[in-house]
Structure 1
Amino acid sequence: MSITDVDPLSLAVIRGRLEQIADEMDTVFERMAFSPVISDAWDRADGIYSATDGSMIVQGIRGLPIFVGTMQYTVASVLKIVREPRPGDTYLVNDPFAGGTHIMDTKLVRPYFYKGKLFAMLANTGHWTDLGGRVPGGFAAQASDCYQEGLRIPPVRLFTEDTLNTDILAILQTNSRLPDDIMGDVEAQATALRVGDERLTELLDEYGPELVSNVIALLRERSALQMRSYIRDIPDGAYSFTERMDNDGINDEPLDVSVRLTVSGEEMTLDFSESSAPCEGPMNSVYAATVSSAIVAIKHVFPDIPINSGIFDPLSFVIPETVFLNAKPPRPVAGCAAETSQRIITAVMGALAAALPDRVPAGSSATSNNLSIGGVDEDGEQFVMYTFLGGGYGGHQSGDGLSNGCSLMSIGLIQSVETLEQRYPIRVHQYSLRDGSAGPGTFRGGLGVHFEFEYLGKQGRASLLGDQSRTAPVGRMGGQPGAASAPWFRLQGKTVTLPMVSKGENVRITQGDLICMLTPGGGGYGDPARRSKQAMAEDVAAGYTQST
């Protein structure tokens, strides 16, 4: 039997079952996790991968898109060190330089056997709230090497035939400010993989490994063909765009994410070699995250391509080690996944806009405003609060941009106000759309967010790792930019901005202090003069834009 013998009904049913398995893994992980950033904000992903090279077979539709590419690199790194995998073995890795993102994104990888034969790999990623480092939550804006960011773990066997290695667990818990959360998240991730193991066995029992393998191969082939067809629609040529980041957290100099897309027939090369050099601060990206971010950008423009490793086939990447988008140890990389990744996305979309102006929206909020606070609560227990925020999406050819959209590399949500106030010593004063933040255009951008809260604890330390405070989301086709990020702190009655504006660490806060995040609004699409006067008047009256 070959892939040409797969009938359409089997293809549709097995594809749906594979996707359902990944989705159920996501749900189990989410429901069991202790960390609110996983359970409430969905900062996680699960998938099924090739046992040969780690390439992606399927990922859950509710998993973070940034993990689309990175987890297959992580699985490949595990396969390199596994000599004799056994059923029930599960490997732990969070090393950014082994196919990861930043240290807090922790992966478990489990070989899957069917009737004694290795068939696939199951893997998931979850953002653990704290794994040590110089600041609570790990987002050290002034870290100058990766050792200051937390406990870095190469691929190690955490479970042996489903028995937990308590020695490794003890190391993890001892190096975290939240040891109980570590235990809960380990069990949640491992259980999700065991559920995937059970469901995949049910699928193979029903349809047989040969048919399922052929469906997997056919799905990959079809994704590659679909990607090639979209690339053929792009006129041959070279298209460039540069995004400018605020700074690296240590040196107050901008960083350029520069990409040159070269399209030839049905193949595309993405060249990042003109980007800034590796930086001293934590805004460096690793190779896997840069590639994955570029894929997410392409998926924003061509959303109907099924997610599997076939989407990589027509693409080539040039990311030399001379740029900060292919950092090597000991470079710090805390801002890799939530900040630099988003500017890679907007840079690639900007280059695509030069070729396909009708398909690419105006610039969107491209910062997560990673905010973490550590301290001691009223019960005398250590806590670490981590949250991130959405912002406005750009206007597009057929309508206004989305307000309070999630991060471009994510489907993550802000944790609910109720969860934040219950778990941490804060009181939220305002969580609303940000007045006047939308960029005017024929179709205006979406609004950013105004998130303001009071600290109720006695003492604490706040750290912020964000961006886009000095370069706003761009307008397209004559549209105007949206508002830039504008965080501020009110410390002992005095309103201050951080020296680097969007970045700072270990800011001492006391009871009654306020922290406010004002996130970017989306850029406008098209000449504002072409928007109806009534719509423009309504925009101003509702506070969407500043003026007509």
Structure 2
Amino acid sequence: MSYHIELFHSLLSDFLQGESALLTTENDVLMVRGSNPVSYGTLVTAANTASKYLKLAEGDIALLNDPYSGGTTLDEITFIMAVSEDLIWVNRRTLNKNIKFAKSVEEEGLRIPPTPLRQKGQLNEMILGAMSAHPACPANFTEWIKAQCADMIASAQKLHDTIEGTGISVTGELIEDYLHLSKKLAVQKISERASGETRVDVVLDSGELLRLNLEIQDGRVAMDFGGTSAAKTLHLTESAAYGTCFKAISDFYGFDRYANTGSFSILQVTKPAGCWLMAKYPASTLKGMTCGVAALKTAVDLALSYIHTKNEKSLSSTTPLLVQLNHESTQTFLSIGGGQGATSEVEGRSAHIETLSVETLERQFPVRIHRIDRRNSIGGKGKFNGGRGMICKIEALEDLQAAWLTDMTLHRPRLPKNCSHGDPSEVTLEHAGTTKSLPVLGQQKILKGEIVSFCSGSGGGYGRPETKVIVE
């Protein structure tokens, strides 16, 4: 790899933070970055949709959150900025996490199609005012949007300064060489491993069937989802499904840092019309973007383990258990991570809860935290144990409203012979000395004195447990 291409790659990596992408106005994807698998398809769709309907001049910014225009869920705002005459920057930022179960996306909140926000150096105050006046618009929306725009403008200027400082010339020839080498790297990484084909079925609790036929040959990957059922509860957009497939493949083979038009070309995804991986407006996508993504990643990971038997890895609890608590006008959101699957060499990594302060939670909410620690694992045992999930046990001191969701794969799929299942996610409610199980996706009023326990899933174990011989 030449010096200029390495410098270009480093420049892209440093600039793109969080869920973001950089494209040319000719629709070449230079790089996508992010931890959310759906970003690898939706950010590209967002840029293409905005460019189709809006003419963005250098410095202009558009925004959207519509899942059918390249968004994910309505609480995540996607910004599209023309950072130069030739480059489009897409950046996704979370406003207020929100779990709201609805039959249509229109019922979930304020849906924003591709909308011009900043033109000729000026924010469109009229459009901002119209959005803020919507009954479902989050508090402090205008102030937050303005702060994000100011941050993006400053970052875009830093990009210009960096390019000038390095002296690199971003030419069409450089881009073409970079994309070609990215494709070559992806093909090489795949070709170094075994080829083959397999089929995996994942049945979700809601009744949907996910059927994946995976074929790997000559450094290319073909995924055919023929046989996947129509939607009952889950709806996942086409671009989100593609992004999840690419992220799973690129992570496995190790070319995730080169996510662009070049590496995208090694993956072919075929989906039957009408299946739940081809959501159509106005279906709600909240469950699909969480539970559906977890099922899809599970299917891909499992198929790869079948083909690459020397690199088997037990399944991880892919989606955290997401919990929202409401009391009067106060709301909090918890993300309880799941355990990771073990491999043939190491045990799985145990889970943690992101950004949770017991003191803050008890001060803001009428709750008492009885327990936050790793759950006692029943499943996930083996020569190498799976990472344990978490348990968060909360007593309501006043009536609360709770909503939660996680993966919906209690119907455990068939595993390779060396792997075992971990514990599934669980939600239980204690009342008057009795304990009952609640669905892993639901919402309920938690009455004063009731105790609700949220348990995230554990990772699967690998290999048979070693038997210890005791000599008397």
Check whether TM > 0.5. Answer: yes
For residue 215 of structure 2, what is the aligned residue in structure 1? 262
Partner Cα separation in structure 1 for residue 433 and residue 254 of structure 2: 47
Aligned 8 A contact 2:245 2:300 in 1: yes
For residue 340 of structure 2, what is the aligned residue in structure 1? 393
**Counterparts in 2 of 1:390-429, with a 5 A limit?**
390-404=337-351, 413-417=354-358, 420-421=361-362, 423-429=364-370
For residue 155 of structure 1, what is the aligned residue in structure 2? 114
Question: Does residue 189 of the first structure (1) align with residue 122 of the second (2)?
Answer: no
For residue 4 of structure 1, what is the aligned residue in structure 2? none
Question: What displacement does 1:75 show?
Answer: 0.8
The alpha-carbon distance between structure 1 residues 461 and 93, as it changes in their structure 2 partners (threshold 3 A), is same
For residue 124 of structure 1, what is the aligned residue in structure 2? 91
1:381-427 CA deviation, whole Å, 9 max, x = no partner?
x2332222211111112111111179xxxxxx454445544555544
For residue 30 of structure 2, what is the aligned residue in structure 1? 57
For residue 363 of structure 1, what is the aligned residue in structure 2? 315
Question: What displacement does 1:112 show?
Answer: 1.3
Partner Cα separation in structure 1 for residue 109 and residue 403 of structure 2: 15
SS of the aligned residue for 1:497 comes to strand
Aligned 8 A contact 2:54 2:116 in 1: no
Which of 234, 237, 242 is 2:201 aligned to? 242
Partner Cα separation in structure 2 for residue 107 and residue 214 of structure 1: 30
For residue 487 of structure 1, what is the aligned residue in structure 2? 427
Which of 231, 244, 252 is 1:293 aligned to? 244
Aligned residue type for 2:14: Q
Question: What displacement does 1:91 show?
Answer: 0.8
Question: Does residue 347 of the first structure (1) align with residue 347 of the second (2)?
Answer: no
Structure 2 portions without partners, runs of 5+: none
For residue 13 of structure 1, what is the aligned residue in structure 2? 7
Which of 450, 458, 461 is 1:521 aligned to? 458
For residue 503 of structure 1, what is the aligned residue in structure 2? 441
1:427-470 CA deviation, whole Å, 9 max, x = no partner?
433221111245112222110111122344x4432112223462
Aligned 8 A contact 2:83 2:156 in 1: yes
Aligned residue type for 2:380: G
Aligned 8 A contact 1:242 1:257 in 2: yes
Aligned residue type for 2:7: V
Aligned 8 A contact 2:99 2:403 in 1: no
Aligned 8 A contact 1:259 1:271 in 2: yes
For residue 444 of structure 1, what is the aligned residue in structure 2? 385
Partner Cα separation in structure 1 for residue 192 and residue 199 of structure 2: 18
Q: What TM-score results when the alignment is normalised by the length of structure 1? A: 0.78
Which of 402, 411, 429 is 1:462 aligned to? 402
Aligned 8 A contact 1:100 1:288 in 2: no
Partner Cα separation in structure 2 for residue 209 and residue 201 of structure 1: 11
For residue 542 of structure 1, what is the aligned residue in structure 2? none
Partner Cα separation in structure 1 for residue 396 and residue 61 of structure 2: 40
Which of 91, 108, 129 is 2:79 aligned to? 108
Aligned residue type for 1:111: A
Partner Cα separation in structure 2 for residue 495 and residue 112 of structure 1: 56
Partner Cα separation in structure 2 for residue 146 and residue 198 of structure 1: 36
Aligned 8 A contact 2:326 2:401 in 1: yes
Aligned 8 A contact 2:40 2:240 in 1: no
Partner Cα separation in structure 2 for residue 173 and residue 459 of structure 1: 30
Structure 1 portions without partners, runs of 5+: 1-6, 27-44, 131-136, 248-253, 377-381, 407-412, 538-548
For residue 468 of structure 2, what is the aligned residue in structure 1? 533
The alpha-carbon distance between structure 1 residues 179 and 485, as it changes in their structure 2 partners (threshold 3 A), is closer
1:111-138 CA deviation, whole Å, 9 max, x = no partner?
112xxxx1211121123326xxxxxx24
SS of the aligned residue for 1:72 comes to helix
Aligned 8 A contact 1:242 1:256 in 2: yes
Greater Cα shift, 86-95 or 488-497: 488-497
SS of the aligned residue for 1:158 comes to strand
Aligned 8 A contact 2:201 2:299 in 1: yes
Question: What displacement does 1:474 show?
Answer: 6.6
**Counterparts in 2 of 1:62-81, with a 5 A limit?**
63-81=35-53
For residue 477 of structure 1, what is the aligned residue in structure 2? 417
Aligned residue type for 2:286: A
Question: What displacement does 1:352 show?
Answer: 1.1
Question: What displacement does 1:323 show?
Answer: 0.7
Root-mean-square deviation (CA, aligned residues, Å) is: 2.7
Question: Does residue 198 of the first structure (1) align with residue 125 of the second (2)?
Answer: no
Which of 384, 395, 401 is 2:331 aligned to? 384
Partner Cα separation in structure 1 for residue 94 and residue 179 of structure 2: 28
Partner Cα separation in structure 2 for residue 167 and residue 95 of structure 1: 20
Aligned 8 A contact 1:437 1:520 in 2: no
The alpha-carbon distance between structure 1 residues 121 and 428, as it changes in their structure 2 partners (threshold 3 A), is farther
Aligned residue type for 1:314: I
Partner Cα separation in structure 1 for residue 296 and residue 441 of structure 2: 19
The alpha-carbon distance between structure 1 residues 359 and 466, as it changes in their structure 2 partners (threshold 3 A), is same
Partner Cα separation in structure 2 for residue 414 and residue 230 of structure 1: 36
Aligned 8 A contact 1:362 1:524 in 2: yes
1:502-547 CA deviation, whole Å, 9 max, x = no partner?
1223x2234443332111111111233xx3539xx9xxxxxxxxxx
Q: What TM-score results when the alignment is normalised by the length of structure 2? A: 0.90
Which of 261, 264, 285 is 1:312 aligned to? 264
Partner Cα separation in structure 2 for residue 365 and residue 463 of structure 1: 20
Identity value in percent: 22
Partner Cα separation in structure 1 for residue 312 and residue 266 of structure 2: 20
**Counterparts in 2 of 1:85-96, with a 5 A limit?**
85-96=56-67
Aligned 8 A contact 1:139 1:335 in 2: no
Aligned 8 A contact 1:474 1:482 in 2: no
The alpha-carbon distance between structure 1 residues 179 and 94, as it changes in their structure 2 partners (threshold 3 A), is closer
Question: What displacement does 1:264 show?
Answer: 2.8
Aligned 8 A contact 1:472 1:482 in 2: no
Aligned 8 A contact 2:342 2:384 in 1: yes
The alpha-carbon distance between structure 1 residues 473 and 454, as it changes in their structure 2 partners (threshold 3 A), is farther
The alpha-carbon distance between structure 1 residues 438 and 184, as it changes in their structure 2 partners (threshold 3 A), is farther
